[in-house]
Amino acid sequence: MSLQSIKYSRGSLEILDQLLLPGQSKYVVVRGVEDGWKVINKMQVRGAPAIAIVGCLSLAVEINPEDFENKKSLRQEIEGKLNYLVSARPTAVNMKIAADELITLANELYKDEAIDVTQMKHRFLDATEAMLKKDIADNRAIGANGAQAILQRVAKAGKTPAGSTGSVRVLTHCNTGSLATAGYGTALGVVRQLAELGKLEHVYCTETRPYNQGARLTAYELVHEKFPATLVLDSMVAALLRAKNVAAVVVGADRVASNGDTANKIGTYQIAVVAKHHDVPFYVAAPLTSIDLAIPGGDHIIIEERPDREMTHVGEHRIAAPGINCWNPAFDVTPASLITGIITERGVFKPAELKEAITKLLES
Ligand SMILES: CSC[C@H]1O[C@H](OP(=O)(O)O)[C@H](O)[C@@H]1O
């Protein structure tokens, strides 16, 4: 049983094939950008941060053995291949942000006359490899910030925590753990931190149809960690919040707009509506690399639509009547008005504060 979604050393990249989990734990070799695009598009690896890291590392393993004639050809290769990788899946912004940052780096290295083409390549490889450690560090900070925010919210609301130790029950959706990142996770990182503090009474995870990230991946992580956890159907969320004294909902994000509207796995929006109805705080956990200040609101986010077969079949077994039409958006947008706070590695922000706060952080 492995929770390591990405295995990398310079010149070698493998990803855990998440289409086979939980039945099989099998790694797939990624030899270059074409392989990287395919494993992302097929969702053998998925999760906004993991998509960006695997995409960029697939370019790293491709260019590592190559001897480029000059800096211009290397720069052109980097820009062209990164922009191609962005097309693998349109909704998560992390790959686009990583591509833009690495293209900017390549342009700076290209202009720096003190650096030759070999040094330029190695500086670029260093930058792509740094993403792995940074993501894990960011996730641990998200976990700490999120756990503190939830515990303070519960205490302030005067709600009786479920457990005698002041521990809380939380609900999460989809998979936002080690299998969606370089490790530890975002929303599941908050769950891990609550557990490390001895404050996790119980965690509920939704199955998250049709890819079943919750039933197949989050449940896999929670069992691996031996957390007190229960799988629920997507259709059970209203009954759960009514009956089980859930203190907070914490989910991930694929793209957060500058006003706080958030695109996340399909089903997130209706969970937020139900949480509002039951006065349960609803948190989004996301690194700054998931925040897109270039767009004003959620209506500007492209929502990926996936193949009908992902709905009509479970593996090779057909579960829907042949001939029925399907609508299979992979994400929906939760309006900022339904979001209590956006948990990042640099702090927890109300949606209305987000743009100004992140702008200041990025400027500093
Ligand atoms: C930290 S993962 C963020 C996000 O990505 C997942 O989508 P997918 O499984 O389609 O890649 C899900 O929306 C998670 O919340």
Whether 163 shows a pLDDT value over 90: the answer reads no
Ligand 1: residue whose CA is nearest its atom 1: 176
Average pLDDT over residues 12-40: 97
Cα 107 to middle of ligand 1, angstroms: 31
pTM of the model: 0.97
Nearest in space to 262 (alpha carbons), one of 168, 202, 317, 334 = 334
Burial-class residue 76 by CB neighbours within 10 Å (0-12, 13-18, 19+). Answer: middle
Residue 210 Cβ inside 6 Å of ligand 1? The answer reads no
Residue 46 Cβ inside 6 Å of ligand 1? The answer reads yes
Ligand 1: residue whose CA is nearest its atom 12: 265
* The one catalytic residue among 17, 35, 138, 254: 254
- Tens-digit pLDDT profile for residues 98-151: 999 999 999 999 999 999 999 999 999 999 999 999 999 999 999 999 999 999
**Which positions ≥6 away from 213 have C-beta within 8 Å?**
46, 174, 175, 180, 265
Residue 205 Cβ inside 6 Å of ligand 1? The answer reads no
Whether 265 shows a pLDDT value over 60: the answer reads yes
pLDDT at position 160: 60
Percentage of the chain modeled with pLDDT above 70: 98
* CATH numbers and ranges of domains, the chain: 6-133 (1.20.120.420), 143-363 (3.40.50.10470)
Alpha-carbon separation of residue 156 from 152, 153, 159 (angstroms): 6, 5, 8
Residue 217 Cβ inside 6 Å of ligand 1? The answer reads no
Strand partners, 263: 255, 333
Spatial separation of the C-alpha atoms in residues 60 and 93, rounded to whole Å: 20
Classify 14 as helix, strand or coil: strand
Kindly state the tokens that stand for 109: 């290295």
Active site residue 279: no
Rounded to the nearest angstrom, the gap between the alpha carbon of residue 360 and the centroid of all alpha carbons in its chain is 23
Ligand 1 pocket test: which of 40, 212, 213 has the largest number of ligand atoms within 8 Å of its C-beta? 213
Cα 186 to middle of ligand 1, angstroms: 10
pLDDT at position 277: 98
| pLDDT band per the 50, 70, 90 thresholds, residue 2 | confident
Average pLDDT over residues 21-29: 97
Average pLDDT over residues 243-266: 98
Q: Which DSSP symbol is given to 337?
A: G
Cα 302 to middle of ligand 1, angstroms: 15
Residue 265 Cβ inside 6 Å of ligand 1? The answer reads yes
Whether 345 shows a pLDDT value over 60: the answer reads yes
* Structure-token match 């270039």, residue found: 294
Residue 49 Cβ inside 6 Å of ligand 1? The answer reads yes
Cα 263 to middle of ligand 1, angstroms: 9
Average pLDDT over residues 261-266: 98
* Structure-token match 């500086």, residue found: 123
Ligand 1 pocket test: which of 3, 97, 264 has the largest number of ligand atoms within 8 Å of its C-beta? 264
Residue 177 Cβ inside 6 Å of ligand 1? The answer reads no
pLDDT at position 162: 57
Whether 61 shows a pLDDT value over 90: the answer reads yes
pLDDT at position 161: 57
Please identify, by atom number, the ligand 1 atom nearest to the C-alpha of residue 304: 10
Outline where the chain has alpha helix (H): 33-41, 48-63, 71-86, 94-111, 117-157, 187-196, 219-225, 237-243, 268-277, 309-312, 351-363
Alpha-carbon separation of residue 93 from 243, 264, 338 (angstroms): 36, 11, 21
